Structure 1
Amino acid sequence: MTLLPALTGGDDLADAVATPGDSLSRHELLGWASAIAERISGHEIVAVDAKPGLPTIAAVTGGLLAGVPVVPVPPDAGELERAHILRDSRAALMLSDDHEAAGDSPVPVMAVSDRKRPGSVPPEPEAKRPALVLYTSGTTGPPKGVVISRAALAAGLDALAEAWQWTADDTLVHGLPLYHVHGLVLGVLGPLRLGCRLRHTIKPTPQGYGSTPGTMYFGVPTVWSRIANTPDAARALRPARLLVSGSAPLPVPVFDALRELTGQAPVERYGMTETLITVSARAGGERRAGQVGTPLTGVRTRLVDESGAPLPADGATIGHLQVTGPTLLDGYLRGGGVEPPGLAGGWFPTGDVATIGADGWHRLVGRASTDLIKTGGYRVGAGEVEDALLLHPAVREAAVIGTPHADLGEQVTAFVVADPVTEQELITFVADRLAAHKRPRIVRIVGELPRNGMGKVQKKLLAAM
């Protein structure tokens, strides 16, 4: 199995990969990456300073060509996080043009921007060999190194190519970070496997997307919300055939606004670092607001209760989502080895809660730890309440969590960014649209919601407030 056949065996393409002000042909990228591969050959694992741009793309590609597992390090990682990643992964080198990229960690830094002498393409590594070590966000403790094999990457990208009718004729545009599944695996390795053009805008701004012609655009809900609030940029995407949203649920009002402004509904998909992408709407099929589609080819899903007993796929029962298939992780880095992920009969517990309809369509409620609220004997999904709040014309952003309550166990608590509006008005607004037990009992008006680098709301920080 060849992981990047369009790069290593395809015809040249003069503008295969481009960023504002710079571009590479397919052969130029292959030569650059091959030179890096020669220099890192024999190392057990290397880190890449994953600043957005061509050097990061070349460095990651060089690691994949050499068969050396790559650890992308977020460029905005704080000193403690960076030191943890480098120490925990035991990276032998940090690939970066910044000689201080390793911080205080005793890891040598190797520059990557010398493109003068192309290297020879090494033999294809075994499919089962680890390709990437992606660190989780660390919301429940220190970030964990998730080991993803070459075979899992190939299976995931091929399943998405089928679902999204993704071909070499496409031009993919995005400005997502190059250290997550969305921006790196889908957004960079996808084009290098399938042969399409890549346009990375460095930052995912409405202006960058609107001024860059393409057939496919990738974004997270925060990006799409900003585009929907910039009508000229949104209308500029009308020639595209696919707008993809992921990494967090897309609010229904944003879904509706994009459909009106761009002439098409966005495609939502679901996945996580440990599983890659497992569920998606289809390019040629229906797209439903608030739902993320059906399992990709080769993937199976199920819902279970707290004891692990299966739950019905009736579109109403909320359960813990488990998945199985060829895209699962090999395990987690532990003490220089790989610790198996602890699957239950081959099923991976995602930590998310969802409903599954009789037709296979999935609706994500959110993280079990923060988005499933147990109040007065009822189970309330935070996302449903957030969508109701966002229907109010004064509300720009909303996040809902459960907070302790002496009688109910938990109470529905909302944090909103809004124009002048009273808390009671918003409580009544939701109560008029949802069941009484789903209305917020507390509403707090805030200036902004805490978010991470991918735009996800950090609900643990809300709980601390």
Structure 2
Amino acid sequence: MPKLIAHQTPDAIIAYTQSHVMTAHDFLRDCFGLAMRLPTKPYLLNFCKNRYLFAVGMGAAALSRQAMLLPPTYNQGMISQLQKTYPDFYILYDQDVLEITELPSFKLEYPVLPSYECYGSLSDLKKDFSVPEIPADHVMAYVFTSGSTGEPIPHAKTWGSLTRNVQAQLCRIREDVNFLNQKFTVLATVPPQHMYGLESSVLVALLGGQAFGAAHPFFPQDICTELECLPRPRVLVSTPLHLRTWMESGMELPAVDLIISATAPLSLQLAESIEAKFQIPVQEIYGCTETGQIATRLPTVNPVWQTYGEVEIMQADSGDDGCGGAVAKGDYIFSPTELNDVLEVIDKNHFKLLGRKVDQVNIAGKRSSLGYLNYQLNTIQGVKDGVFFIPDMVDTPKEKLGETRLAAFAVASGISKADILKALRSRIDAAFMPRPLFIVDELPRNSTGKLPHQVLVELAQKLQSKQIATEPQKQ
């Protein structure tokens, strides 16, 4: 059976918290102690923001054979939805949250065990260091789709599949970077509740014998501060949004030894600027909630993605929309799984990513993709962030006639709305021009940099209502 952690000695470092260095002994002690105190329910909502406390909660749940629920959001609506499907769950948290005050909950703080004498044999863990095994078929978590392609759907992740997934990731890291057999430390700007954050920050450390920083930095200054506190080699696990903001901050950036990016396509320009700055590789991960991570590429070396281990990609039949689909299978993927992206399959282990199925746009017989349009918008001088979307709920005369129109948001500095539109006309076909284009202070991205479609629709409705209210009334 796979073990809870891969660390071989009790003094091996697992995590760096704000004021403590946590060893394998500390982690196992905290996991066993917490497991004794947790409610006896089958499911928990692991809401811990501190990455170490999240990991302890996960370890205690594994020892208790409980399953974590990891939804895409933690608002009241999502929690109410979970209650209907999983009525017998409790919430594990480390920071007070208004939405959970009326639900069964357990607050986790440091130290996890305020008095170790209460737990007798726990004090013998260091002397008799033995790592517990977890059944490979134990469902460790139900991870939900992000909601950007439909209603959130749970996907079971067993301890065995997660272990094989992370082992494949570690092999790829060693292929791409020579750490000279040194153990590395991970700092992540993505939350551990997200599939990417779970795999690439928590599990890669626990199951790979590495270490992680417990913080969840978001702003450039926070990222720099946390990196400076960690030993090298350092691995920064992040997103294109965080990386671009970090690189454009003008700050003195601490050294890193590998940068991993996922959740959205990484522009070649950004990857090149990172590699020129640090003289290190930038690794991009491809995956989804349904399959977990399944492939990587070094974008400045080759645009082609290479699958992990025994994972294979097959071209699927095109649907009614003419978009070529693909299926992933093998290794830690339970059954052949259709992907939500349009891929050009080169062979069973290599492919090119052409865009998301839901991104394909067909207007007046002309075809494009939201990914391509977003790229053109974001490369305009002065546009800091931008996104196209299909405003399927916006009530306009053209929509009533059944004619597709695109809308877009842009965060801009030193460039007017008219100039943005002028630049777009020189880059894209007139059929895909945004009508309307909204200029905003910032985009409502979530903690992983994504923009769920419904959030964009609601923002567009709000801005249009405000615009209509301020327009002079015709007599």
Determine if the alignment matches structure 1 residue 256 to structure 2 residue 279: no
Q: Which amino acid aligns with 1:391?
A: T
Retained in 2: the 8 A contact 1:63–1:69? yes
Distance in 2 between residues matched to 1:378 and 1:3, nearest whole Å: 54
Shift of 1:134: 1.9
Write the distance in 2 (CA, Å) between the matches of 1:245 and 1:122. Answer: 31
Superposition deviation, residue 434 in structure 1: 5.3
CA contact (8 A) 1:85 1:135 kept: no
Q: Give the count of matched residue pairs.
A: 430
Q: TM-score, normalised by structure 1?
A: 0.80
SS of 2:192's partner is coil
Report the 3-state secondary structure (helix = DSSP H, G, I; strand = E; otherwise coil) of the residue aligned with 1:56: helix
Contact 1:450–1:457, Cα closer than 8 Å, also in 2 = yes
Shift of 1:256: 3.5
The residue identity in structure 1 corresponding to 2:171 is E
Deviation, structure 1 residue 32: 0.8
Q: CA separation of 1:87/1:32 partners in 2, compared to 1, >3 Å: closer, same or farther?
A: farther
CA distance in 1, matches of 2:351, 2:183: 29
Deviation at residue 179 of structure 1 after TM alignment: 0.7
> What is the SS of the residue equivalent to 1:319?
coil
Q: Which residue matches 1:323?
A: 328
Question: Structure 1 residues 432, 326: CA separation in 2 closer, same or farther (over 3 Å shift)?
Answer: same
- Offset, 1:390: 1.9
Match of 1:144 in 2: 153
Larger Cα-atom Rg: 2
Which amino acid is 1:298 matched to? E
Q: What SS class does the counterpart of residue 410 from structure 1 fall into? A: coil
| Structure 2 residue 307 is the aligned partner of structure 1 residue 295 | yes
Relative to structure 1, is the Cα distance of residues 252 and 399 closer, same or farther in structure 2, using a 3 angstrom cutoff?
farther
Report the equivalent of 1:341: none
C-alpha distance 30-156 of structure 1, shift in aligned 2 (>3 A): same
What's the offset of the Cα at 1:375? 1.9
Q: Say if 2:138 is the partner of 1:129.
A: yes
1:95 pairs with 2:92: yes
Classify 1:162/1:128 alpha carbon distance in 2 versus 1 (closer, same or farther; 3 Å): same
Q: 1:94 to 1:168 in 2, by over 3 A?
A: farther
Distance 2:304 2:11 in 1: 34
Higher helix share: 2
Helix, strand or coil for the counterpart of 2:78?
helix
Q: CA deviation at 1:87?
A: 4.4
Q: Secondary structure at the match of 2:454?
A: helix
SS of structure 2 residue aligned to 1:397: strand
| Counterpart amino acid of residue 278 in structure 1 | I
Alignment of 1:203-282 (within 5 A): 203-211=217-225, 212=227, 213=230, 214=232, 215-234=234-253, 236-237=254-255, 240-281=256-297
Structure 2 counterpart SS, 1:194? coil
Deviation at 1:139, TM superposition (A): 4.1
2:197 corresponds to which residue? Answer: 183
Q: Indicate how the Cα distance of structure 1 residues 93 and 84 shifts in structure 2: closer, same or farther if over 3 A, else same.
A: same
Say whether residues 1:77 and 2:74 are aligned partners: yes
Rounded Cα–Cα distance in structure 2 between residues aligned with 1:191 and 1:247: 20
Asked if residue 362 in structure 1 is aligned to residue 361 in structure 2, the reply is: no
Matched AA of 2:404:
E
* Residue 307 (str. 1) matches residue 323 (str. 2): no
Q: 1:155 to 1:130 in 2, by over 3 A?
A: same
- 1:131: how far off? 1.0
Q: 1:84 to 1:278 in 2, by over 3 A?
A: same
> Does 2:385 align with 1:397?
yes
Please state whether the residue corresponding to 1:177 is helix, strand or coil: coil
In structure 2, what is the equivalent of residue 347 of structure 1? 336
What corresponds to 1:13 in structure 2? Answer: 11
Q: Distance in 2 between matches of 1:160 and 1:49?
A: 25
Distance 2:154 2:78 in 1: 12
Q: Is the 8 A contact 2:90 2:103 kept in 1?
A: no
* C-alpha contact (below 8 Å) 2:6/2:209 kept by paired residues: yes
Whole-angstrom CA distance in 1 between matches of 2:31 and 2:309? 31
Gaps of 5+ in 2: 393-397, 461-475
Change in Cα spacing, 1:233 to 1:208, as seen in structure 2 (3 Å) is: farther
**Where does structure 1 lack aligned partners over 5 or more consecutive residues?**
312-317, 330-345
Q: What CA RMSD, in Å, does the superposition of the two structures yield over aligned residues?
A: 3.4
1:375–1:133 distance in 2 versus 1, CA, 3 Å = same
Mapped pair 1:65 → 2:63: yes
Q: Distance in 2 between matches of 1:207 and 1:462?
A: 28
Query: In 2 relative to 1, CA 56–446 (structure 1 residues): closer, same or farther, beyond 3 Å?
Result: same
Shift of 1:137: 3.0
> Quick one: which amino acid aligns to residue 242 of structure 1?
L
For the Cα contact (< 8 Å) 1:219–1:244, is it kept in 2?
Answer: yes
Which residue is 2:362 aligned to?
374
